[in-house]
Amino acid sequence: MNPSDPALRSFIAVDPSSDFPIQNLPYGVFFTPERPQLRVGVAIGDQILDLAALESAGLIRCDEGHGTFAQPSLNAFMALGPQVWRRTRARISALLRHDNPELRDNAALRRQALVPQRLAQMHLPIAVQGFTDFYSSKEHAFNVGVMFRGKDNALTPNWLSIPIGYNGRASTVVVSGTPIRRPRGQLRPPTADAPTFGPCQRLDFELEMGVVVGQASAMGDMLTAEQAEDMIFGFTLLNDWSARDIQQWEYVPLGPFQAKAFGTSISPWIVTREALEPFRVHGPPQEPPPLPYLRQARPNNYDLHLAVDLKTEQIAQAAGISRTNFRYMYWSSVQQLVHHASSGCAMNVGDLLGSGTVSGPDKGQRGSLLELSWNGTEPLELEGGVRRTFLEDGDSLILRGWCQGDGYRIGFGACEGTILPAG
């Protein structure tokens, strides 16, 4: 049976509102106090299925060797390629089915291989080799352009022809729950004659999706859209924290640097491309048509709902501040990867691509505080008279994402980070 079939049921009880039904099976890396070794698991309901334990018991075999899942990252598994990814997901799905006794009726192995998520500590799921952030939402690019260049020059001349991106820092990609320290840098307000050095005053989030590259390409090679799609292992939520005031001073002429290098948060679960397959949709019309190497033969966007909640020290409940959808992205993840390699740039197993801020056409669908507060001129009004233009110390951002199926949802869990003082 197709692992994404809506009729599938697991012997593990899964709430219909859970992000992790049997149709999902996202991969993550975790440890527990009783067993502190890092290993790979998949989420099923409120449990984690320990793949290292199943591999040790002989119920899963990815290759001729052993220990693919007794690893501190998914890189070794990803390197085995798409055929192994599909075969392994199908095998895990079969083991979890309500009518398969292999794991269901093996009480000893279940005790070893099923771990409550509340008892596990999640780890960064991949060893990030390189991080590239794109700028691929037309609505976001237009909003930012209007703020800083005016409506008539909102999109730069190259924006409709090329997926714009920059190389970021892999060293500061962290898993959800890791605090983010307010960055320091050079600041020069418009009214000042010279810069000063100090804590960022206009700290922002960026709602993005992360693309996890699971196969390498050789230096000097180009990719077709089909090859690029096969290289994508899966997707994760991504928050590319941004220091807007540092960026405003530094970005000419070479673009973001320190304003983006201090922290990027991702969710602990990587949802496979295969699990998202039922939710493929066409993206917005691309006009003018892309150059031949960027053209797509089939839809490469996803009907993926995204939500941002802001939690402050002054209010008891997190406030929803943005609701949007990944389907709005002008440049797809496949086009981003094709373009990234088009110069002959080698791609590595474990590379991470940020989609760029995901914004929709309506005000409530904007994916950053820069847009939501319109560069600080329209503060967000929260409960109890709390107002925000940019993030303050102690604030927490929670990103969530899910695709809604018939009676089930394919979700990513949460991507959360809390702002610490600059110190």
- Catalytic site positions: 140
Beta carbons within 8 Å of 371's beta carbon, 6+ residues apart = 140, 143, 144, 357, 359
Burial class (CB in 10 A: 0-12, 13-18, 19+), 299: middle
Contact 305, 328 (CB under 8 A): no
Cα dihedral 294, 295, 297, 300, rounded to 10, equals 60
- How many CB atoms are located within 10 Å of the residue 46 CB? 14
- How many CB atoms are located within 10 Å of the residue 359 CB? 28
Residues paired with 21 in a beta bridge: none
2-28 core/surface letters (b: 16 or more CB in 10 A; e: else): ebbeeebebbbebeeebbbbbbbbbbb
Cα four-point dihedral sign 64, 272, 160, 252: negative
Tell me 408's DSSP state. Answer: -
Beta carbons within 8 Å of 168's beta carbon, 6+ residues apart = 131, 132, 133, 240, 256, 260, 261, 264, 354
Q: Where are the beta strands (DSSP E) in 1-116?
A: 27-31, 39-44, 47-50, 114-116
Unique residue bearing structure tokens 């392994």:
88
Query: Residues for the chain: how many in total?
Result: 423
Nearest Cα to 230, choosing from 290, 271, 272, 270? Answer: 272
- How far is residue 401's CA from residue 368's CA, in Å, rounded to a whole number? 16
Give kind and range of the element (H or E) at residue 235.
strand 232-240
Give kind and range of the element (H or E) at residue 308.
strand 305-311
User: CA separation (Å) from 219 to 10, 168, 294, 348, 412?
Assistant: 43, 19, 19, 10, 32
